[in-house]
Amino acid sequence: MTETPTVNIRPHLPMGELADHARGPALSQATASRARLTLSWEDGTLADFPLAWLRDHCACPECRHPLTRERLILPLEAPTEAPETRVVEGNLALVWADGHVSRFDAVWLHQRRPGQGREDAVPTRRPWARDYRPTRVDHADFVAGAEGERTWLTALLRDGLVLLENGPLADEEVSRLASRIGPLRATNFGARFDVKSKPNPNNAAYTAIGLALHTDLPNWRHPPDIQLLYCLENDAEGGESTFFDGFAAAEALRVESPEAFRRLAETPIDFRFQDENHDIVWRAPVIDLDEAGRVVEVRLNNWIRDTLRLPLEEIDAWYDAYRAFWTLAQDPENRLEFSLAPGEMVAFDNRRVMHGRNAFDPSTGRRHLQGTYLDLDMCESRLRVLARRA
Ligand SMILES: [Zn+2]
């Protein structure tokens, strides 16, 4: 005679939620008072939920649209009486005083216990350590399906930089790859741009000078988030790509020179691009902090820094702080430098990682990169969708 294993028969209730809530503990007990419901789960977890919260989160077709999954009710009236409360097959059933019935999935509730943070497939950002080496993903794995793309997105969102390799030498491949994730973010330079040089250049756009580390378009209130650069040709001598983690640089400045850090974080300055058809200006600090004092953005681009408009007594101190940050950001020990090979693509967070390139000799060969931008929201969204399917 064999023993029958315990099977969790808890049915999975629809909650208007696409992220997984199938696996987890069933409810064992529910007790309502006038303002709260106390729940206990099979794993020993206990939690209180305000009745107003439960009424607001009812997922029945009257309260939540069955197709759009969006909320249809406004929480204008607080429940005044405790509902009739039952645990049915491990899930929660409530009958409110007006007869309305709400059913809640046990695991969905477990994930949303008051005080619990949001579970998210998007990783937290991690500044580069001294031995940081970029994650590399094969083009074939990226386009084959979920796993390669997930690895690529996770590294990009965590480290602010990732490499793709062994791709085809095909015009517009960068646009095809970007479009898997979201719409291309257009700027005054278009949705897709060429970084190209020719032997014997006859135009300034085809110069071969080195480009110091910078972030793109800090003169926009919302600079492009993610930049993709796909290499189609690169046989000129020199022209190595350089990268520096702006978050790591800002943190180093905070330690080495707190006064310089504070000044760059607290002093908005003007950035500006102007040509015959455009005049795009934004005023923002070089280092942007959130309310908790964490670095959330770096704007560094010496070419399009506009007139420094500051009170007389602040000007010299600002230049001192800027020099300190600039010097730190040139530190070769912490700079990433490599040559992109044809068929390779680098993607990086333009509001975090500074990029540049070494000078090259255009008489020794061609160098052609194609680039575009993506919104961070689309990258995070794509990663959550892929995690949902995994
Ligand atoms: Zn309802």
Ligand 1 center–CA 56 separation, angstroms: 8
Which of the pair, 202 or 355, is modelled with greater confidence? 355
Over range 208-217, report the average pLDDT: 91
Confidence (pLDDT) at 200:
65
CATH class of the region 27-111? alpha beta
Ligand 1 center–CA 69 separation, angstroms: 13
Ligand 1 center–CA 28 separation, angstroms: 23
Confidence (pLDDT) at 109:
98
**pLDDT tens-digit series, residues 223-232:** 999 999 999 9
Classify residue 224 as exposed, middle or buried by CB count within 10 Å of its CB (0-12, 13-18, 19+).
buried
Query: Regarding the domain with residue range 136-389, which homologous superfamily does it belong to in the CATH classification?
Result: Clavaminate synthase-like (3.60.130.10)
Who surrounds ion ligand 1 at CB < 5 A?
58, 60, 62-63
Which residues 6+ apart lie within 8 Å of 69 measured at CB? 16, 17, 18
b/e 258-292 (16+ beta carbons within 10 angstroms → b): eebbebbbebebbbbbeeeeeebebebbbbbbeee
Q: Which amino acid is at 178?
A: A
Ligand 1 center–CA 73 separation, angstroms: 9
Ligand 1 center–CA 100 separation, angstroms: 6
Pairing state between β 136-138 and 161-165: parallel
Confidence (pLDDT) at 226:
98
**pLDDT tens-digit series, residues 297-330:** 999 999 999 999 999 999 999 999 999 999 998 8
Ligand 1 center–CA 101 separation, angstroms: 6
Confidence (pLDDT) at 86:
97
Residue 3 scores a pLDDT above 70: no
The helix (H) or strand (E) run that includes residue 316 is: helix 312-328
Ligand 1 center–CA 58 separation, angstroms: 5
Ligand 1 center–CA 92 separation, angstroms: 13
Are 183 and 381 contacting, i.e. CB atoms less than 8 angstroms apart? no
**pLDDT tens-digit series, residues 242-282:** 999 999 999 999 999 999 999 999 999 999 999 999 999 99
Pairing state between β 345-349 and 161-165: antiparallel
Size (the chain), residues: 390
Ligand 1 center–CA 61 separation, angstroms: 7
Q: How many angstroms separate the CA atoms of 374 and 184, rounded?
A: 5
Residue 389 scores a pLDDT above 90: no
Ligand 1 center–CA 72 separation, angstroms: 9
Ligand 1 center–CA 64 separation, angstroms: 7
Q: What is the DSSP string of 109-167?
A: HHHT-TTPPPP-SSPPP-PPPTT----EEEHHHHHH-HHHHHHHHHHHHHHSEEEEES-
Residue 5 scores a pLDDT above 50: no
Domain boundaries, the chain: 27-111, 136-389
Q: How many angstroms separate the CA atoms of 244 and 224, rounded?
A: 17
In angstroms, the Cα distances linking 341 to 81, 233, 234 are 69, 8, 6
**pLDDT tens-digit series, residues 88-131:** 999 999 999 999 999 999 999 999 999 999 989 999 999 999 88
Ligand 1 center–CA 76 separation, angstroms: 14
Ligand 1 center–CA 141 separation, angstroms: 44
Ligand 1 center–CA 244 separation, angstroms: 52
Ligand 1 center–CA 118 separation, angstroms: 23
Ligand 1 center–CA 98 separation, angstroms: 11
Which of the pair, 9 or 264, is modelled with greater confidence? 264
Ligand 1 center–CA 63 separation, angstroms: 4
Q: How many angstroms separate the CA atoms of 45 and 30, rounded?
A: 12
**pLDDT tens-digit series, residues 33-82:** 888 999 999 999 999 999 999 999 999 999 999 999 999 999 998 898 99
**pLDDT tens-digit series, residues 165-202:** 999 999 999 999 999 999 999 999 889 999 887 666 65
Ligand 1 center–CA 42 separation, angstroms: 26
b/e 121-155 (16+ beta carbons within 10 angstroms → b): bbeebebbeeeeebeebebeebbeeeebbbbbbbb
Which of the pair, 230 or 388, is modelled with greater confidence? 230
Residue 203 scores a pLDDT above 60: no
Over range 233-246, report the average pLDDT: 93
Confidence (pLDDT) at 201:
60
Residue 363 scores a pLDDT above 90: no
